[in-house]
Amino acid sequence: MGGIENKKRLAADILKCGVSRVRVDPERIGMVEAAVTRDDIRRLIKQGVIYKIPKRSPSRGRHVERRQGPGSRKGGKKARQPRKELYVRRIRALRRFLRELKRTRRITVKTYRMLYRRLSMFRSKRHLREYIEKEGLYRKAVYEAGRSA
């Protein structure tokens, strides 16, 4: 049968890859030249005389992390981060915080319900915390004293 190029083509077909990925052990090239059938090529693949090299992927070496500056942005601030998404994220955080305060009994259920209704007026957890402190809505010191005893 033909030269080594033909054998490499057969091997590529069997290995399900391109001819450029097929390699032949240079010390045992005579065995490959002696191969006649596809079964011979399969046997050489099993013996490791013919093998395929791994796929190459683009190098990350030249990749530089770039900030998305104003020149590359398309769409306004609210288009890139919709108001509703911001609102939902804020409300969920506030609800979580309020639940935690109720669970640890730092606020009463009555206070919890009152604050829950007004959640949308708070900008952040910090804003809510400051409001609770300013309005004196935390449970009374009597409870705190009884808890530490």
User: Residue 26's pLDDT is what?
Assistant: 92
Q: Are 132 and 116 in contact (CB under 8 A)?
A: no
Which tokens sit at 142? 């009597």
DSSP structure class, residue 136: T
User: Residue 149's pLDDT is what?
Assistant: 44
Instruction: Give pTM, 2 decimals.
Output: 0.50
User: Residue 140's pLDDT is what?
Assistant: 80
User: Residue 148's pLDDT is what?
Assistant: 53
User: Residue 145's pLDDT is what?
Assistant: 54
User: Residue 116's pLDDT is what?
Assistant: 97
Nearest CA among 21, 47, 44, 26 for reference residue 34: 44
- Which parts of 58-127 are beta strand (E)? none
* pLDDT tens, per residue, the chain with 149 residues: 568 899 999 999 999 999 999 999 999 999 999 999 999 999 999 999 999 999 888 877 777 777 777 888 888 889 999 999 999 999 999 999 999 999 999 999 999 999 999 999 999 999 999 999 999 999 986 455 555 54
User: In which residue are the tokens 């005579």 written?
Assistant: 30
- Report the alpha-carbon distance of residue 139 to residue 117 in Å, rounded: 19
Give residues with Cβ within 8 angstroms of 128, minimum separation 6.
94, 97, 98, 115, 119, 122
Which tokens sit at 31? 């065995």
